[in-house]
Chains A and B, each alone.
Chain A
Amino acid sequence: MSPVVFSTGLGTAIPLHPDLGEVIGFQLNGLIVVGAALGLIWGMLELLGAVFRRISAAEAAAAAAKLASAPAVAPAPAVAAPSPAPAPAAPGTIPETDLVLIAAAVHATFGPSARIIALSPRPEARDWAVEGRRAIFATHKVR
């Protein structure tokens, strides 16, 4: 009895029980198809990225030019005394507001039984906090 052969939309045919050559050909075709699809998307993204980077650069340049040409405005007198800002933390220490936030986060995540034993400041982590905020704001509609 001859094996059942399926026709394919990609010009190849593969039987129900293919031999080694047929399997390898089928695999290569599959990889080419996946590569072609993702390659096309890659090309599209590079094109889109180039266009949008140019647009954002032009917008930034226009905004900078507008700022430079705007007349200098004298600062208005303060109407009310601003609330006192928290005292800046000494170098190498963690600001008080950060401590409160960290304690609240630990309490919310691990519960009341958790205790903070030690905290050590890591300057490079600040950039990633900014990056995280940026990513969140970029992906959510903030009202």
Chain B
Amino acid sequence: MLSGLLDFYQTTGFSQITLGMLSMWVVVGVLLWFAVAKKFEPLLLVPIAFGALVANLPTRGVITHTETAEAVFTIEAVPVHDTSSSAPHTHQQLRVEKVEGGLYDFISQGVKLELFPPLIFLGVGALTDFGPLIALPRTILLGAAAQVGLFLTFFGATLLGFTSKQAAAIGIIGGADGPTAIFISNKLAPELLGAVAVAAYSYMALVPLIQPPIMRALTTEKERRIRMSSLRKVSRLEKLLFALGVTVVCILLVPDAAALIAMLMLGNFLRECGVTERLVKSAQNEIINVLTIFLGTSVGLTMRAENFLAPATLKIIVLGVVAFGCSTAAGVIAAKIMNKLSPRTPINPLIGAAGVSAVPMAARVAHSEGQRADPGNYLLMPAMGPNVAGVIGTAVAAGYFISSLAGR
């Protein structure tokens, strides 16, 4: 009887628990505490944490499928070096005994095949109003300046011993754009996907804590009190032409950013054209919500103890906050330089910090910092310009990294 119980014990998951798994349960607990108790990016952190929990349990049929397939396939092989019809063909019988993949393995194909991030960008485009950027076009430069942090972090990461591909995946955290970070990590450094995604989303959630001290340190009270005039009304036709123009310009310049830019602008075109309400509603709600669950759990599933509990993760966490800080500082400094060059139409330097593309959190932070200095100052709409420009800038930078590093 005892041996029977021992045999049964061997079939349970208890016998397969490791110290690494237990450590990851603590990490999961911390992430869930951030998400649920502190409400830091709960829409992403909850699925990520739950996926990480599943990844660190001895599951069956969830990540791997263990049923015997018992199928016999006949395959035809042709030598690679000579695919002409005269080449000798060989026939072999292949017996498949085990089929890899369970529920989450199939869902994770959306990340592995780079489907989820562009589809999430479709929803982001459908949710984003580019009107403030179109009304005040020069704020696009703040979105460009904020990408400085991304490249500086690339520099720092290479100094810390990461390869150029890994450094690019880490640097993109400074762009504060989760889907782009996942997209580029999967392409260039899939081994860092979990750590990069967790760092990106954690820091996006911590924007209200990370940015204000930097913003206050780099601006004077007088600068923070600068009021900006109301934005002009932007017509629907302008918004439609903007979506088409950005698609063409960005894809021509950086074809590797096409998947992200095209879907972002498709979502925005659907939103602005006014004749595809059903599609816009789906993109804004059902599509992005379903994909957020899948993307989050897929990323969480990459956080296995043997991958995540490594010194590299700690370095990524540190580099991530450096990236965020540098991007924020670069945006604010760029706004100050613009004010020096064009003193007659000053912009509030606080909106430069919104150049990191955490939409709309960074714009809200700029607005609330402005109101701390002057309660009657309303910076939300002007700050949305650099904020959405940051989304485009990060996607372009990601395209540059991929085109330069993906090893064509």
Contact = CB atoms under 8 A, between A and B. Distances in A.
A114 interface: no
Interface residues of A, number: 48
B320 interface: no
A45 B133 contact: yes
A86 B407 CA distance: 72
B405 A44 contact: no
A36 B155 CA distance: 21
A45 to B, nearest CB: 4
B75 to A, nearest CB: 32
Contacts of A42: 137-138, 140-141
B404 A45 contact: no
Given A8-B403, A37-B253, A41-B246, A17 B134 contact: no
Contacts of B232: 53
A18 B163 CA distance: 8
A31 B249 contact: no
A35 B163 CA distance: 25
Given A37-B253, A45-B242, A16 B165 contact: yes
A53 B405 CA distance: 43
Interface in A35-83: 35-42, 44-46, 48-49, 52-53, 56
A49 B249 contact: no
Given A41-B250, A52-B234, A56-B235, 16 more contacts: A6-B405, A6-B408, A8-B405, A31-B151, A33-B397, A37-B249, A38-B140, A38-B392, A39-B144, A41-B140, A41-B392, A48-B241, A52-B238, A131-B230, A131-B378, A135-B381
Interface of A: 4, 6-10, 12, 14-18, 23-24, 26-27, 29-31, 33-42, 44-46, 48-49, 52-53, 56, 122, 124-125, 127-128, 131, 134-135, 138-139, 141
22 contacts: A9-B403, A9-B404, A12-B404, A14-B404, A17-B164, A18-B158, A23-B154, A23-B158, A24-B155, A30-B404, A33-B400, A34-B144, A34-B400, A37-B254, A38-B141, A42-B138, A44-B245, A45-B137, A45-B242, A52-B235, A138-B234, A139-B129
